Amino acid sequence: MSRVFITGSSEGLGLMAGQLLHAQGHHVVLHARNAVRADTARRGLPQAEAIVLGDVATLRGMHEVARQANDLGRFDAVIHNVGIGYQEQRRTETEDSLPHVFAINVLAPYVLTALLQRPARLVYLSSGMHLGASVHLEDPAWRERRWNGSTAYAESKLYDLMLAFAVARRWPQVLSNAVHPGWVATRMGGAGATDVLDEGHRTQAWLAASDDPAALVSGQYFYHQRPADPNPQARRTDLQEGLIAALTGFSGITLPQ
């Protein structure tokens, strides 16, 4: 039996993963942006051990989520599910002068990884769209480039994959992997999504808690419980370390070696 914390889990794939893990006998802590979202999460999984509140669009909110989660004690696994999609038509900035897509999809998983008590397993949500993205460490927060929401999202999912691989390399005692859940009809994915919704949450739950030897690996990228080939840039340790340096600069937080 494991204790699992799932970020961005008031609805969609995060909540579905929590429901599955609970059904398997695990203890689940959910996360919601605000009290309204927390009510939605509680209705979706009344048996949740707790619901952490905090808007991870801001550094202030990231710190608050980490504080609340750490107050609950160490987790066996953390699923970094929180994220927003690819349909932002303009650059929307947070109070930290960062694009929402970058702050929520990339900086928040990094900050929480660095601040939370270290679990045995980490799961990061990527996307198949990362395959068409390129690393832009000279301007990861789109301060100089002309905004493109779809490209910014795809890049963010490439950076999530790089973060998962960097953590796997830096923390060999932790199983750190990334997941492509498929293009599924959640609020983020939209009604036109073509993958099977029921498959979208299963791989991250499996990686978080299963004793299947195939799940007890690290530094891998999965699609529907099978290893997949990532964008080759994600495997480059120089780019991984460049990303970690950039995220350290944006957050003021160092990822422990």
DSSP H or E stretch at residue 30: strand 27-32
Q: Are 47 and 81 in contact (CB under 8 A)?
A: no
Amino acid at 212: D
Phi, psi of 78 (to 5 degrees): -125, 125
Burial status of residue 146 (CB atoms within 10 A of its CB: 0-12, 13-18, 19 or more): exposed
Which amino acid is it at 192? Answer: G
CA 7 – CA 136 distance, rounded (Å): 26
CB of 237 closer than 8 Å to CB of 96: no
Please name the helix (run of DSSP H) or strand (run of DSSP E) that holds residue 184, with its range, or none.
none
Q: How far apart are CA 57 and CA 143, in angstroms?
A: 17
The yes-or-no answer on residue 157 being catalytic is yes
**From the candidates 86, 110, 124, 157, which is the catalytic residue?**
157
Residue of 86, 124, 153, 159 marked catalytic: 153
Nearest in space to 178 (alpha carbons), one of 162, 194, 200:
162
Q: Look up residue 204 and give its two tokens.
A: 């991250």
Q: Which residues are catalytic?
A: 153, 157
